[in-house]
């Protein structure tokens, strides 16, 4: 398949980057064979039906009746083999494979498990595991990895007591986390996406998925899947494809036709081949162009879904990881002398729409678990101490989450590629940003200024506010709302906008941030962030000048907000020393997969359509009337075969897989 030559600067950059990568990268996609035997470590008996596989990729074999095996298509470089057989303790072997390997002898010892305590037996009933499916088996720089996660429970009746947070890491060949997503689990399912920038380095990557609670049972139970990223001019040999119309016994993928034209609508429906209703469940569907996405071997949901026999007899490795019900953060409240202090903390979000109140321990430590928000959130706080609950000054110090420092060997390609002269992808523009909710701007106006105290601000102040006249919302920005005539505070943008309104026709022209002073020391950066980071409890007064103030030069041309701290706090000049807030990372907001609808003439359809992933739906919805699962998409400008893959889990917890291929003709 020949793609049109692109002359845009973006494609030129991709080609230049690919050329440079070819000069500096090692061999990518060279395959070897490993041969050997598996024996009983005590009796030296040759073991049949032992399973040998390369970790994280779909390359495996079993021993024959004489204990011999031949493992083909093993990528050269670092690899890790897993050898296992029921009744024996598994063995892992690590190699830096430079060529084939013969006469490898593996010895397995009988598995002896320590007795379980009643607590361990109970904890084992709460085992959970994560499995991911992606829209395709490999990618190019500039593409998006669309994925769907499913959670399996050893005892499904305990599902409501288990994790609501899933971590998805993208690791490079050095096992370093280069991207991380924190996702909210809803009814045992979730979806996400990872954008690979145009200049993303080609190579071997891996997706790793887990919950924090799974750490109690060992990192070997984490899900992992290889994500090869090819150079933009690398092509997969079509002979590597192993697609077939496979279907499990209770799901079948059907389309309204078998042949279609370009930009024509395709309707998909899931049916039960045995007749009757399709089992209720959670199903995802991906559609790819097989001329651009060769169906190389990959793990399906069925391969990674179940728990292996006897896992309930294995003891947990620890019992110190709690179940996460939402965003979790741990911290410590310290006094101005940086010693832990027991206080009652009131923690509230921007907008005051949620308030959490709790007591720290005697050393100031606390943990919050179960809040839910996307992107990031600023929390403000107030502290009270003593029997009378008086305001207490101090700061919250957050503790970083423990990193998962487990090195994972990321193997190379298990399929062959070849270099082409033309780029193998043209990226589509069908991508919608997440929904953004904007707040309206609010302007506070009164007729005149009233000064309540003599000013110490150079050049004089238009208004002086004593702190006790302000509502105590924890931070100064919230407390100033409605108190300063002409001051506009707009939190419909991030960070909030703070400025003075001026009359139409003013010679000063446009508006911008006023200068913020703390004890007469100018503080640079955003005025909103500075005011958010000042605890109202340590403020003595605020002096305001909305006029041009030549005493402060050009910095004061858009007005001044001067903050003076109470006696004893005058030594604080760094906003970090007076911060009453902290920022927490929340859940990643999933992107929406968008594809063209050629039945709508009002849309612009003049652009060429060379999508490699034509459709991605992480959650097919049943028809409310018929209960049938169906969806539709439009073909692109490329003829050939399109591959439809459906994967999911029935309500009873059974993994299913369905595949169907359609023909697209340009006639």
What one-character-per-residue DSSP string does 508-543 give? Answer: T-S--PPEEEETTEEE-S-HHHHHHTSBGGGEEEEE
Give domain status of residue 10, yes or no: no
The predicted model gives 40-66 an average pLDDT of: 95
Q: Please tell me which residue, 89 or 491, carries the higher pLDDT value.
A: 89
Alpha-carbon distance of 506 to 86, in angstroms, equals: 83
Same-domain check for residues 84 and 191: no
Looking at every residue in the chain, the average pLDDT score rounds to: 83
pLDDT 10s digits, 117-154: 999 999 999 999 999 999 999 999 999 999 999 999 99
Query: Residue 243's pLDDT band (boundaries 50, 70, 90)?
Result: low
Q: Is the pLDDT of residue 508 over 70?
A: no
Query: Across 318-364, where does the E strand assignment appear?
Result: 327-334, 344-349, 355-359
Cα dist from 90 to 43, 56, 107, 409, 491, whole Å: 17, 16, 10, 17, 57
User: Which pLDDT value is given to residue 573?
Assistant: 46
Q: Is the pLDDT of residue 28 over 90?
A: no
User: Which pLDDT value is given to residue 504?
Assistant: 37
Q: Please tell me which residue, 301 or 519, carries the higher pLDDT value.
A: 301
For the ranges 96-110, 238-252, 377-391, 570-584, the maximum mean pLDDT occurs at 96-110
Give domain status of residue 20, yes or no: no
User: Long-range contacts made by residues 347-356, C-beta under 8 angstroms, separation at least 24?
Assistant: 347/379, 347/380, 347/381, 348/379, 348/380, 348/381, 348/474, 349/373, 349/377, 349/378, 349/379, 349/380, 350/377, 350/378, 350/380, 350/491, 351/491, 352/473, 352/478
Give domain status of residue 89, yes or no: yes
For the domain that residue 74 is a member of, what is the CATH number?
2.60.40.1120
SS3 of 220, please? Answer: helix
Q: Is the pLDDT of residue 257 over 50?
A: yes
pLDDT 10s digits, 453-479: 455 787 788 889 888 888 777 678 888
Alpha-carbon distance of 567 to 570, in angstroms, equals: 6
Single out the residue in 584, 607, 632 at which a domain terminates: 584
Residue 129's φ and ψ, nearest 5 degrees, are -145, 155
129 token code pair:
């595991």
Same-domain check for residues 142 and 283: yes
Same-domain check for residues 211 and 178: yes
Same-domain check for residues 171 and 254: yes
Give domain status of residue 15, yes or no: no
624 token code pair:
């409310």
User: Which pLDDT value is given to residue 323?
Assistant: 92
**Which structural domain range is residue 74 located in?**
25-108
Tally DSSP H helices, then E strands, for the chain. Answer: 5, 42
Same-domain check for residues 298 and 332: no
Give domain status of residue 423, yes or no: yes
Q: Is the pLDDT of residue 438 over 70?
A: no
Count of structural domains, the chain: 4
Single out the residue in 402, 420, 450 at which a domain terminates: 402
Of the chain, the percentage scoring pLDDT greater than 90 comes to 45
Q: Is the pLDDT of residue 435 over 70?
A: no
User: Which pLDDT value is given to residue 428?
Assistant: 54
Give domain status of residue 4, yes or no: no
308 token code pair:
């292996």
For the domain that residue 526 is a member of, what is the CATH number?
2.170.130.10
Same-domain check for residues 418 and 280: yes
pLDDT 10s digits, 319-341: 888 899 999 999 999 987 788 98
Residues 6+ apart with CB under 8 A from 236: 138, 230, 294, 296, 415, 416, 417
User: Which pLDDT value is given to residue 662?
Assistant: 95
Single out the residue in 108, 133, 165 at which a domain terminates: 108
User: Which pLDDT value is given to residue 110?
Assistant: 93
Same-domain check for residues 552 and 629: no
Query: Residue 568's pLDDT band (boundaries 50, 70, 90)?
Result: low
Q: Is the pLDDT of residue 15 over 50?
A: no
Query: Across 414-513, where does the E strand assignment appear?
Result: 417-419, 431-432, 442-443, 463-466, 487-490, 497-500
Quick one: which H or E segment has residue 73? Answer: strand 68-75
Cα dist from 626 to 559, 629, 646, whole Å: 65, 9, 20
pTM of structure = 0.75
CB atoms within 10 A of CB 41: 14
Same-domain check for residues 334 and 246: no
Query: Residue 437's pLDDT band (boundaries 50, 70, 90)?
Result: very low
Alpha helices in 489-637 (DSSP H): 527-532
Asked if 121 and 316 touch (Cβ cutoff 8 Å), the reply is no
pLDDT 10s digits, 265-314: 999 999 887 777 788 889 999 999 999 999 999 999 999 999 988 888 88
pLDDT 10s digits, 583-636: 889 999 888 998 999 999 888 888 889 999 999 999 998 887 778 899 999 999
Alpha helices in 357-475 (DSSP H): none
């Amino acid at each position: 398949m020949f793609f049109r030559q692109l002359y845009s600067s973006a494609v030129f950059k991709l080609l230049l980057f690919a050329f440079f990568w070819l000069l500096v990268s090692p061999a990518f996609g060279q395959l070897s064979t490993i041969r050997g035997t598996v024996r009983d470590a005590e009796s030296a008996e040759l073991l049949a039906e032992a399973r040998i596989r390369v970790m994280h990729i779909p390359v495996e074999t079993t021993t024959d009746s004489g204990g011999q095996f031949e493992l083909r298509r093993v990528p050269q470089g670092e690899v890790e083999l897993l050898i296992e057989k029921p009744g024996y303790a598994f063995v892992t072997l690590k190699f830096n494979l430079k060529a084939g390997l013969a006469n490898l002898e593996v010895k397995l010892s009988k598995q002896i498990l320590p007795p379980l305590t009643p607590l361990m037996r109970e904890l084992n009933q709460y085992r959970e595991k994560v499995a991911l499916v992606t829209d395709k088996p490999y990618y190019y720089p500039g593409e998006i990895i669309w994925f769907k996660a499913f959670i399996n429970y050893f005892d499904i009746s305990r599902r409501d007591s288990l994790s609501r947070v899933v971590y998805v890491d993208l690791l490079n060949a050095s096992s370093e986390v280069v991207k991380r997503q924190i996702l909210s689990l809803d009814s045992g399912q979730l979806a996400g996406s990872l954008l690979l920038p145009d200049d993303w380095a080609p190579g071997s990557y891996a997706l790793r998925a887990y919950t924090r609670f799974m750490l109690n049972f060992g990192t070997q139970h984490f899900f992992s899947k290889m994500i090869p990223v090819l150079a933009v001019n690398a092509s997969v040999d079509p002979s590597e494809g192993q697609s077939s119309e496979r279907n499990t016994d209770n799901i079948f993928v059907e389309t309204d036709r078998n042949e279609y034209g370009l930009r024509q609508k395709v309707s998909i429906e899931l049916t039960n081949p045995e007749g009757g209703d399709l089992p209720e469940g959670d199903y995802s569907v991906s559609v790819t162009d097989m001329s651009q996405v060769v169906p190389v071997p990959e793990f399906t949901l069925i391969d990674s879904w179940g728990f292996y026999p006897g896992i309930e007899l294995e003891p947990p490795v620890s019992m110190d990881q709690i179940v996460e019900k939402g965003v979790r953060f741990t911290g410590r409240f310290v006094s101005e002398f940086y010693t832990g202090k027991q206080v009652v903390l009131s923690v509230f979000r921007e907008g005051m729409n949620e308030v959490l109140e709790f007591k720290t321990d005697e050393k100031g430590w606390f943990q919050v678990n179960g809040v839910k928000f996307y992107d990031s959130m600023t929390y403000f706080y107030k502290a009270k101490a003593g029997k009378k609950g008086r305001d207490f000054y101090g700061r919250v110090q957050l503790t970083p989450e423990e990193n998962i420092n487990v090195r994972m060997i990321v193997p190379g390609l298990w399929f062959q590629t070849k270099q082409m002269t033309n780029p193998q992808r043209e990226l589509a523009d069908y991508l919608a940003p997440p929904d953004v909710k904007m707040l309206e701007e609010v302007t506070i106006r009164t007729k005149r200024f009233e000064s309540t105290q003599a000013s110490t601000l150079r050049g004089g102040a238009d208004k002086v506010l004593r702190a006790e006249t302000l509502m105590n919302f924890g931070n100064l920005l919230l407390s100033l709302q409605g108190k300063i005539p002409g001051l506009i505070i707009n939190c419909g943008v991030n960070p909030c906008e703070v400025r003075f309104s001026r009359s139409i026709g003013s010679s000063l022209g446009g508006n911008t941030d006023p200068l913020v002073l703390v004890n007469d020391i100018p503080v640079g950066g955003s005025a909103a962030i500075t005011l958010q980071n000042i605890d109202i409890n340590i403020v003595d007064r605020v002096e305001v000048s909305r006029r041009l103030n030549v005493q402060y030069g050009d910095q004061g041309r858009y007005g001044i907000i001067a903050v003076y701290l109470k006696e004893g706090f005058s030594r604080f000049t760094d906003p970090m020393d007076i911060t009453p807030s902290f920022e927490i990372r929340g859940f990643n907001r999933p992107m929406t997969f968008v594809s063209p609808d050629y039945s709508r003439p009002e849309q612009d359809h003049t652009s060429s359509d060379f999508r490699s992933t034509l459709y991605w739906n992480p959650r097919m919805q049943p028809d409310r009337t018929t209960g049938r699962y169906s969806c539709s998409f439009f073909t692109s400008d490329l003829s050939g075969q399109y591959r439809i893959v459906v994967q999911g889990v029935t309500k009873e917890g059974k993994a299913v897989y369905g595949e169907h291929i359609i023909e697209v003709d340009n006639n």
